[in-house]
């Protein structure tokens, strides 16, 4: 009779990094956000629940407030949760969730789309995914009518889309025009720069800029891991909005990566206007999950 795999809580400093990252890379539901180097860059602290001999893992980013430890989802992460090399049952998911140490008095953690769990503290979020395996012509024909019109309108302005070897100008534009409308803090932007400094240009990270008359009016940062591209960050000013900079940048990115056996992950949104923008590129809505356990001090 086989004994049941043990679930262990391992602190980051005691982690077998090679085994952990191999598990993430070989997972059926691998995500760039779960690799040790990614979490090292963006999380204040993180530990892991290990199922068996790294057959499945559940990274736990955490921080303290007023001396109380709690689990949170850092900026620049859309999906964490449970990663597995062999499909786990819902019962296994529940066992891992139950193994989160009681010292964490609150949990706010985004799970990935392959972590469907019927649980009262889990709610659904919407992501948008575009399969890139078709030709650009086929993908373009699948855009919605309003996106075709927006791209046509954008041609009236002589904007230029170009690559950059540095994220600095895009981040500056984001900090000036986008960040004030978000909950992002200065430390989040520091973590972003730390993350991007670890990636290789044109193989793992791509910087696209939109220029009009020698002025940067829009930009975007894309990441790649395995067979998935991620739309990590966008930045646009008022001129960029008027000239459809993001439509042009996303269309250019799709054109440059069409015909690959890959997915383009828009990273989703629960804001209707942004969701419909992503959907207009032919992307499909895919659910992922939010696990929220309120403060429990006793």
The tens digit of pLDDT for each residue in 42-89 reads: 999 999 999 999 999 999 999 999 999 999 999 999 999 999 999 999
Half-sphere exposure of 80 (CA within 13 A, CB side): 31
* Residue 77, token pair as written in the block: 């992460």
Segment (H or E) for 216: strand 215-225
The tens digit of pLDDT for each residue in 13-35 reads: 999 999 999 999 999 999 999 99
- SS3 label, residue 290: strand
- Say if residues 266 and 284 touch (Cβ distance below 8 Å): no
In the chain, DSSP finds a helix count (H) and a strand count (E) of: 10, 13
Class level of CATH domain 7-119: alpha beta
269/121 Cα distance (integer angstroms): 20
Whether the pLDDT of residue 5 is over 80: the answer is: no
Q: What's the distance, CA 283 to chain centroid?
A: 16
Please indicate whether the domains covering 7-119 and 128-287 agree at the CATH topology level. Answer: yes
pTM for the model: 0.95
Whether the pLDDT of residue 136 is over 60: the answer is: yes
- Say if residues 133 and 182 touch (Cβ distance below 8 Å): no
Whether the pLDDT of residue 100 is over 50: the answer is: yes
**Mean pLDDT of the region 104-117:** 96
CATH 3.40.630.30 fits 128-287, yes or no: yes
Number of neighbouring beta carbons within 10 Å of residue 289: 20
pLDDT on residue 1? 42
269/263 Cα distance (integer angstroms): 17
N- to C-terminal Cα distance for the chain?
Answer: 39
pLDDT on residue 297? 62
Whether the pLDDT of residue 6 is over 70: the answer is: yes
Q: State the residue for tokens 């302005």.
A: 157
The tens digit of pLDDT for each residue in 271-296 reads: 899 999 999 999 999 999 999 999 87
To the nearest 10°, report the CA torsion of 83, 85, 90, 93. Answer: -40
> For the chain, which residues make up each domain, given as ranges?
7-119, 128-287
The tens digit of pLDDT for each residue in 209-259 reads: 999 999 999 999 999 999 999 999 999 999 999 999 999 999 999 999 999
- Say if residues 173 and 118 touch (Cβ distance below 8 Å): no
Q: Is residue 2 very low, low, confident or very high in pLDDT (cuts 50, 70, 90)?
A: low
- Say if residues 49 and 7 touch (Cβ distance below 8 Å): yes
- Say if residues 289 and 81 touch (Cβ distance below 8 Å): yes
Q: Is residue 3 very low, low, confident or very high in pLDDT (cuts 50, 70, 90)?
A: low
- Say if residues 258 and 139 touch (Cβ distance below 8 Å): yes
The tens digit of pLDDT for each residue in 186-203 reads: 999 999 999 999 999 888
Closest alpha carbon to 167 in 212, 223, 215, 214: 223
pLDDT on residue 220? 98
**Mean pLDDT of the region 148-160:** 95
């Amino acid at each position: 009779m086989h004994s049941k795999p043990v679930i262990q809580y391992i602190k980051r400093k005691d982690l077998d990094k090679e085994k952990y990252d191999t598990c993430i890379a070989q997972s059926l539901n691998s995500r760039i956000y779960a690799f040790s180097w990614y979490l090292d860059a963006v999380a204040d602290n993180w530990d892991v629940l290990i199922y068996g001999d790294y057959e499945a893992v559940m990274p736990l980013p955490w921080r303290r407030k007023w001396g109380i430890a709690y689990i949170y989802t850092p900026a620049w992460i859309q999906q964490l949760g449970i990663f597995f090399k062999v499909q786990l049952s819902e019962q296994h998911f529940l066992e891992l969730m139950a193994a989160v140490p009681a010292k964490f008095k609150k949990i706010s953690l985004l799970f990935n789309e392959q972590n469907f769990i019927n649980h009262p503290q889990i709610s659904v979020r919407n992501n948008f995914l575009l399969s890139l395996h078709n030709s650009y012509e086929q993908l373009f024909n699948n855009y919605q009518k309003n996106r075709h019109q927006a791209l046509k309108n954008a041609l009236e302005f002589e904007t230029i889309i170009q690559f950059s070897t540095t994220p600095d100008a895009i981040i500056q534009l984001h900090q000036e025009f986008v960040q004030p409308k978000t909950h992002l803090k200065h430390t989040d932007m520091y973590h972003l720069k730390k993350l991007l400094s670890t990636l290789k240009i044109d193989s793992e990270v791509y910087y696209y800029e939109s220029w009009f008359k020698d002025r940067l009016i829009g930009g975007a940062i894309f990441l790649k891991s395995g067979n998935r591209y991620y739309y990590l960050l966008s930045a646009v000013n008022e001129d960029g909005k008027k000239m459809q900079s993001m439509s042009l940048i996303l269309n250019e990115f799709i054109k440059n990566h069409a015909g690959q056996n890959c997915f383009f992950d828009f990273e989703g949104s629960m804001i209707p206007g942004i969701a419909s923008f992503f959907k207009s590129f032919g992307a499909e809505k895919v659910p992922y999950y939010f696990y929220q356990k309120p403060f429990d001090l006793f």
